[in-house]
Chains A and B, each alone.
Chain A
Amino acid sequence: DSGVTQTPKHLITATGQRVTLRCSPRSGDLSVYWYQQSLDQGLQFLIQYYNGEERAKGNILERFSAQQFPDLHSELNLSSLELGDSALYFCASSVVASGNSYNEQFFGPGTRLTVL
């Protein structure tokens, strides 16, 4: 158990719909990252938040958005869903990197999204 929690575990919805995925980071971690992993694809970085502020953006579609709340949990919103959005969505958290410290990311169990 990494200490990162994600809900829901599974989500089945229809094209055109909107869903919200939730993530709670490990206690003490200020950074939250969102990744998308499609079948047989690598981890695609979507977005990072640090202490409530957006820190970096990866290959995130305009239909997707995220935020980090004062209690540090984060939500990823996916709208106008398409079949191709079906994937595993992982949230990860880490402490702030300093110098050459590890600062490895701890991953949650993921949310499996199926768009029908």
Chain B
Amino acid sequence: GQNIDQPTEMTATEGAIVQINCTYQTSGFNGLFWYQQHAGEAPTFLSYNVLDGLEEKGRFSSFLSRSKGYSYLLLKELQMKDSASYLCAVRVRELGGYQKVTFGIGTKLQVIP
């Protein structure tokens, strides 16, 4: 199976930068997703990495190192509305070609004034 670790909670200040880390142990790795989930709402897709390096999308960036089994999500110029849970999800290719996605428990980010 997959083992995905992320910090449970983080707090950061409005306007600052925060980095949310995710480590994973798996075989057949075929991509890593970050999703944002506000309390009581559905997760929404933020980013996808399959190759090593940094993917930038506005205020959000995601980094992947496949050799280290490590990813981070970087949020810049934090806004109060960024208070949410951030879910790291790993996709693996299983026998028969099926691709399975497993979600981490999520990091609850609180942005304070």
Contact = CB atoms under 8 A, between A and B. Distances in A.
Interface of A: 2, 35, 41-43, 45, 55-56, 88, 90, 97, 100, 102-110, 112
B62 to A, nearest CB: 13
Contact of B87 (A42, A88, A109, A110): A42
A42 B104 contact: yes
A106 B42 CA distance: 9
Nearest to B101: A105
Given A56-B100, A100-B50, A103-B99, A41 B42 contact: no
Contact of A41 (B30, B31, B44, B105): B105
Contacts of B104: 42
A107 B44 contact: yes
A30 to B, nearest CB: 13
Interface of B: 30-31, 33, 40-45, 48, 50, 87, 91, 98-106
Given A100-B30, A102-B48, A45 B42 contact: no
29 contacts: A2-B42, A2-B44, A35-B103, A41-B105, A42-B104, A42-B105, A42-B106, A43-B87, A43-B103, A45-B100, A45-B102, A45-B103, A55-B98, A56-B98, A97-B91, A100-B31, A100-B50, A102-B48, A103-B99, A104-B33, A104-B48, A105-B45, A105-B101, A106-B45, A107-B43, A109-B41, A110-B41, A110-B42, A112-B40
Contacts of B42: 2, 90, 107-110
A90 B89 CA distance: 16
Interface centre among B33, B40, B42, B91 (most CB of A within 10 A): B42
Nearest to B50: A100
The 6 closest A-B pairs by CB, nearest first: A42-B105, A107-B42, A43-B103, A104-B45, A97-B99, A100-B50
Given A42-B104, A55-B98, A100-B31, 7 more contacts: A2-B44, A45-B103, A56-B100, A104-B45, A104-B48, A108-B42, A110-B42
Contacts of A106: 45
Nearest to B99: A97
A116 to B, nearest CB: 19
